[in-house]
Amino acid sequence: MMQKIFSIIFLSMFFLFCRNTEGKTISVGKNKSVQSIQKALAIAKNGDTVLVYAGLYKEGNIFIKKSIVLKGINFPVLDGENKYEIISISANDVTVDGFKVQHAGRSEIKDLAGIMIYDSYNVTIINNILDDTNFGIYSQHSRKCTIKNNSITAYGKNEVQSGNGINCWRSDSLLIIGNTIKGHRDGIYFEFVTNSLIWRNISTENVRYGLHFMFSQDNNYITNLFKDNGSGVAVMYSHGVKMFNNFFEDNWGDAAYGILLKDISDSYIEGNHFLRNTVGIHMEGSSRIVLQRNEFINNGWAIKIQASCDNNVITKNNFLGNTFDIGTNGSLVLNTFNGNYWDKYEGYDLDKNKIGDVPYHPVSLYSMIIDNNPSALMLFRSFIVSLIDKSEKIIPTVTPENLKDDYPLMLPLSL
């Protein structure tokens, strides 16, 4: 009996003791006992919290190898002096919160990032401001990491010399939420990343793409804004992509796209808004994609669909004020375009079921001509072009006869 009580007391004391060590907090600051982050990291143990008070810290590369919480108070500045990678993490359960990370180094051999995550699990990067970091946040071989509410700015001038905002490689189950990314090569770049959620990010004014991914299966992109990027968004060689309610705006220029889909299959693109892009969606070698309830407004081409695409369903979309609704390069059509609203539709609805009685042919002859012969754009908006387009609309001869909407809507959908 006595022994039992003793052991219970001993055990509870042991747990108490353990708790105490786990909750230890180390403060770093000018007037604190520890004055450098490096020193704090050296004395910290797994589970500790390192609080960093405001100030300028030029400590080279800060390498976190223990499961700690590194928390900044009033945004302490970590400066890489254009030489170092600033924060590197290679431990599980690390949190980096509330820092201003600036002037990361740049190297031709190694990708130096503002915050780098190596082979880790459950790392959280939250509420940081990254300024003039070559690569912003870089995750490689990591799982279940959260990158949230960071503001990442770079001043990339060209594609070769600048890095990506959020760069993920061979990672899984990432949560990338509410980040603001600006001025990089690619805003968000994924390669071999799976099962991740990209939600409420704003990616603007990047040199190349707002979002760029390859070989990244089963990811969800929800309510992001991609605006004013050099070439819009490019996604390639992936399946199981779900893009809902994103905004693709003002990607205007030669070879700029709202989205470039190359070899994408079994995916859903729904409820997105494509505004003022040279090409809203450019599809190449893509199959089994459901494109519905999207809005295409004031684009050059709403959708350019190459003849290499098959079994795509394009339905319940609004096409408003686009110069060309659909562009294509061949006569083979393996996709369906039924039940959309086209503002250029000139048919009638006798039975008043709000569905037009005659099919709509969204490909104009002139857009076919341009596809074969780009110089013909000299005649853009000329009298002869509208004349031949009108005659082609009545009797399709050159344009693919099967590319048509059999049930065009009379009124735009409210999206």
Partner 1 sequence: MKKIIKYVIVDLLRNKIVLFYTLLSLIISFSIFNLESNTSKGLLSLLNIVLIIVPLVCMIFSTIYIYNSAEFIELLVSQPLRRRTIWISLFIGLSVSLSLAFLIGIGLPIIIYQPNSTGFMMLLMGFLLSIIFVSIAMLASASTRDKAKGIGFAILLWLYFSLIFDAIVLFILFQFQDYPLEKPMIIFSFLNPIDLSRIQILLKMDIAALMGYTGAVFKDFFGTTTGIVVTTIVLSLWILIPVWISAKKFGKRDL
Binding-site ranges for partner 1 (CB under 8 A): 252-256, 278, 300-301, 321, 323, 369, 372-385, 387
CA-nearest of 180, 90, 95 to 139 is: 90
CA atoms of 62 and 251, how far apart (whole Å) = 38
Q: How far is the CB of 255 from partner 1 (least distance, A)?
A: 8
CA atoms of 327 and 366, how far apart (whole Å) = 10
Q: How far is the CB of 231 from partner 1 (least distance, A)?
A: 11
N-term to C-term CA, the chain: 73
- Say which residue the tokens 């990338």 belong to: 176
CA atoms of 26 and 39, how far apart (whole Å) = 10
Instruction: Answer whether 157's CB lies under 8 Å from 133's CB.
Output: no
Instruction: Answer whether 134's CB lies under 8 Å from 115's CB.
Output: no
Residue 253 or 330: the one with the smaller Cβ distance to partner 1 is 253
Q: How far is the CB of 404 from partner 1 (least distance, A)?
A: 24
| Residue 8: exposure state from Cβ atoms within 10 A (0-12, 13-18, ≥19) | exposed
Residue 18 or 387: the one with the smaller Cβ distance to partner 1 is 387
Residue 56 or 398: the one with the smaller Cβ distance to partner 1 is 398
Q: How many CB atoms lie within 10 A of CB 281?
A: 28
Residue 387 or 411: the one with the smaller Cβ distance to partner 1 is 387
Residues 6+ apart with CB under 8 A from 105: 80, 81, 82, 83, 84, 85, 112, 134
CA atoms of 180 and 210, how far apart (whole Å) = 11
CA atoms of 301 and 281, how far apart (whole Å) = 8
Q: How far is the CB of 277 from partner 1 (least distance, A)?
A: 10
Residue 84 or 296: the one with the smaller Cβ distance to partner 1 is 296
Task: Using DSSP, state whether 387 is helix, strand or coil.
Answer: helix
Q: How far is the CB of 301 from partner 1 (least distance, A)?
A: 8
Residue 81 or 346: the one with the smaller Cβ distance to partner 1 is 346
Residue 360 per-residue DSSP state: B
What's at 11, amino acid-wise? L
Residue 52 or 234: the one with the smaller Cβ distance to partner 1 is 234
Residues 6+ apart with CB under 8 A from 140: 116, 117, 118, 119, 168, 169, 170, 171
Residue 75 or 252: the one with the smaller Cβ distance to partner 1 is 252
CA atoms of 99 and 117, how far apart (whole Å) = 16
Maximal C-alpha separation, the chain: 105
Residue 43 or 377: the one with the smaller Cβ distance to partner 1 is 377
Q: How far is the CB of 374 from partner 1 (least distance, A)?
A: 5
Q: How far is the CB of 377 from partner 1 (least distance, A)?
A: 4
Q: How far is the CB of 345 from partner 1 (least distance, A)?
A: 18
Q: How far is the CB of 98 from partner 1 (least distance, A)?
A: 42
Q: How far is the CB of 225 from partner 1 (least distance, A)?
A: 21
Residue 94 or 369: the one with the smaller Cβ distance to partner 1 is 369
- What are the beta bridge partners of residue 334? 310
